[in-house]
Structure 1
């Protein structure tokens, strides 16, 4: 429990100390923000700081810091360190700069921002990459909640239309269309703060339930420092990919521009972007602690947690909430597993619309122009979602790549932020160091993971994975990270030389 409290204290201190260093490095000033200057009443709308914070938290969180942290707990309390230091030195920095660079560029989507600092080739790659990723996220966060609602209806004794996935999927997609189309302050700005508070209350309830129940003990890092994964899955870099939301997540960079278009002052960035990430880190730390405390450690391995997770996201969250908070926890769990994914899904589709709008130079202040993008974006999402519900489309395999692409996106954004700071003649190492680290993480995972290149280098017997070939993957990851850093330094020197010429 002491190590949990220390990590919690470090997160809080990190917000006030390192978060302020990050803020001072960027240098917010009193310039007119896009929300004030453009203010189209749809996407550019001035919102109060407390609302910006809660909407940003729910946009970036969803079930990510809950389920990802529970999965991370399979490696034992060592996951506390990644959540803590990842949030302070990587996730908070990533979210802050993705939001503030967007704000400095008229609230542009992350693809346009990245292109400005890394060149047109990367811009086009990021445009396609972002739109595909966002539509995929939005679709999955429509299919998932629809299935959960069906389960809840059946468990409540209902029958007929209300127990069909297709019915609820259509309802959710209709909501997504409305939320994507209308003003951000009409639905998102009004109800998201409420659900953001629910997400925080659920986390507080879980940790309070652990502290007040003598049957639960959060294990110490120093007494269980090592790989406790039941399957022996390597910590590097699987844990760093698994726990994305709650440490660092590239998906956040697609969401931060939404709030960058709603800030009244640049000085709100520290609280809205870095602060929301730290809050998510705290939520992830609590759920990781729950995963370690509520299940047993047998022979140096986590026991019971893998079985709970195998039953599905909703079942695992339901189990933790029921054990720590009883009936109230069950009610919060039901809200969380249904509402949280939906609140990430609708903003994913909204971000896809805005990314396309920036790409195609289509103003979004008229109904007709928004329809031009909402219809195809939601149309593709509906095709994929309904096709999956009817059984003729299966994108489960594709979704496995999300974890890797998510952290690769974070890596690219951090390199873009490094180039921005270099051009502004500011301390770019504050972003270049985590960018280098995430380069090693992404490359190592891509080489090692069975769904990527792992099938070619790992050891298999009778079609089953026997051992990971870390002796090959680790050096490749390190070499790639060094190469990326060298490429960045070369680019800075080339830029400096061109400026002198």
Structure 2
């Protein structure tokens, strides 16, 4: 089948989801109100709480939640065939991810920008909140350590990506100054910023940077990992407008252009999907499609990490409440489009089925390498762009996605550490909290050698942990909707499906870890399972209790009541 058919159907489903379903969610379920004073205005501090243009905030949210996962997951999952991956990405994005991301963003900004861990304490209970924080901390640790290794490998294997990857930092700093201090027009700044990034890509392709065997007394792998953690630590402490927002925004625009280039290559070249729709000749040792598909593709269909970003940083920057629909739901759509591009690149970017099978000779093959190679072939065939430059464009996309997720992840993990200490009655300085985060992450990354292989030690738990966290986030959203007597089925259905699949996958992994004697992962998996079950029980109890309690005042009515009261007070005075 021609890959263009898959592309058109996928994009049409995403467009219908945003134009129709997200509008229904915004108007009927969450009742987004432009009169509501968001935390960005109420608690504005110029550091974390900063009212932000919705397009800039979308760029931050989209690139932070995307990372490398929507590339890796789909490019691995096509081993079961392109059809199951395509259906989960499209339907999951429209009905699951969009609702989850928008719901988490709405719930947080309605509660002064509090994180999901903090909201768990209010809506589920303190015990559930403590266990929620454990799951969140482990998930963020997986993301930060694994993405450091992924970026390191890309910088070493694709040296042409070094200059654009690091050059994006000064470009972002200049964009931040231009937008927030010089007050330049956003369109002008966007054009100049994107032009600078693509100039860096051309420069990187012409001047690849290959580090010597030893640099500052360490190997290139060690050097890159240390540099990445130092950068992420510094970036997490700076005010969001200085680096986080402008970097993510420009990256988001540039990465959307990169996706456009890939999709244009598909339009012109019309490559054939050489992989089977349903793969009946699976390599030996490949796990069953159900439930593993639904945790292999997490980001790109639904992801608990999105709830952390939505409630950790994005909710603190929302200028107007209706912007949540564009930032939250369309952010999920952007990631779904990236996952769709990954599926096409990994199944139509090869000449023959035999070539594809050489890559997918075992489970967990493919990934970023298949995306870069296959996507580069499609761009080269469709647009005539040299293969080396095509690979540089896609590798830079992957690096920038992963790097923006990593610096946001370190900031979020700092919030989690501070919340954990505050629950124990200790107020922790953000610098000290960041040092704790970096020490733990760096220690795990180098725990098995200076090549950073330890960074992937607990990564096998990411899919199940991430999806369990998504279901726990949906529990909080469901409790709030029940208390307000809103339509709760829009969250309960995704909640039930994701929890059953991810919990089943976690149980499957218990057997795998026992059979392979991987006791560390076994212990962590059991901890995550027990914590998730406990939070789920507390959540169901909270839902039943909420149904039996008096209805919370409707937000719109409450705002009207406050406005009327203010007018009456003013008249009396």
Provide TM-score, normalisation by structure 1. Answer: 0.85
Counterpart secondary structure, 1:264: coil
| Kept after mapping to 2: 8 A contact 1:245/1:280 | yes
Cα deviation for residue 277 of structure 1 reads: 0.2
1:323-356 CA deviation, whole Å, 9 max, x = no partner? Answer: 1223431221231233221111111010011223
Q: Distance in 2 between matches of 1:19 and 1:227?
A: 37
Counterpart secondary structure, 1:194: helix
1:61 to 41, 62, 66: 66
* 2:155 equivalent to 1:97: no
Question: Which residue is 2:30 aligned to?
Answer: 26
* 2:362 equivalent to 1:303: no
Distance 1:435 1:137, change over 3 A: same
1:119 to 109, 125, 128: 125
Question: Which residue is 2:237 aligned to?
Answer: 181
Residues 184-193 or 386-395, more deviating: 386-395
| Kept after mapping to 2: 8 A contact 1:229/1:302 | no
Question: Which residue is 2:495 aligned to?
Answer: 435
* 2:194 equivalent to 1:133: no
Question: Which residue is 1:88 aligned to?
Answer: 94
Distance 1:350 1:226, change over 3 A: same
Counterpart secondary structure, 2:49: coil
2:394 to 314, 333, 343: 333
Question: Which residue is 1:2 aligned to?
Answer: 5
Question: Which residue is 1:249 aligned to?
Answer: 303
Cα deviation for residue 289 of structure 1 reads: 2.0
Cα deviation for residue 164 of structure 1 reads: 1.8
Q: Distance in 1 between matches of 2:70 and 2:453?
A: 28
* 2:77 equivalent to 1:72: yes
1:426-479 CA deviation, whole Å, 9 max, x = no partner? Answer: 01111001000011111221223xx323567xxx9xx8xxxxxxxxxxxxx9xx
Q: Distance in 2 between matches of 1:156 and 1:358?
A: 41
| Kept after mapping to 1: 8 A contact 2:147/2:403 | yes
Structure 2 gap segments, 5+ residues each: 161-207, 380-386, 517-528, 552-573
Q: Distance in 1 between matches of 2:455 and 2:55?
A: 37
Question: Which residue is 2:203 aligned to?
Answer: none
Question: Which residue is 2:413 aligned to?
Answer: 352
Cα deviation for residue 153 of structure 1 reads: 4.7
> After the TM superposition, which segments of 4 or more aligned residues of structure 1 sit over 6 Å from their partners?
308-312, 483-490
Cα deviation for residue 202 of structure 1 reads: 2.4
Q: Distance in 2 between matches of 1:283 and 1:93?
A: 18
Where do 1:8-407 residues align within 5 Å? 8-24=11-27, 25-29=29-33, 30-78=35-83, 79-153=85-159, 158-162=211-215, 164-214=220-270, 216-218=271-273, 224=277, 229-231=282-284, 233-257=287-311, 258-295=313-350, 303-307=357-361, 313-325=367-379, 326-361=387-422, 369-390=429-450, 394=454, 396-407=456-467
| Kept after mapping to 2: 8 A contact 1:217/1:293 | yes
2:485 to 425, 432, 451: 425
Q: Distance in 2 between matches of 1:397 and 1:169?
A: 15
| Kept after mapping to 1: 8 A contact 2:97/2:302 | yes
Q: Distance in 2 between matches of 1:495 and 1:53?
A: 33
Cα deviation for residue 243 of structure 1 reads: 0.8
| Kept after mapping to 2: 8 A contact 1:54/1:193 | yes
1:128-185 CA deviation, whole Å, 9 max, x = no partner? Answer: 2212321331122223322332334598554244552122222111111110111011
Distance 1:61 1:391, change over 3 A: closer
Structure 1 gap segments, 5+ residues each: 464-476
| Kept after mapping to 1: 8 A contact 2:40/2:316 | yes
Cα deviation for residue 207 of structure 1 reads: 2.4
Number of equivalenced pairs: 470
Residues 403-412 or 130-139, more deviating: 130-139
Cα deviation for residue 61 of structure 1 reads: 0.3
Q: Distance in 2 between matches of 1:230 and 1:125?
A: 38
| Kept after mapping to 1: 8 A contact 2:476/2:539 | no
Q: Distance in 1 between matches of 2:10 and 2:364?
A: 28
Cα deviation for residue 369 of structure 1 reads: 2.4
Q: Distance in 1 between matches of 2:540 and 2:446?
A: 47
Counterpart secondary structure, 1:400: helix
Residues 224-233 or 428-437, more deviating: 224-233
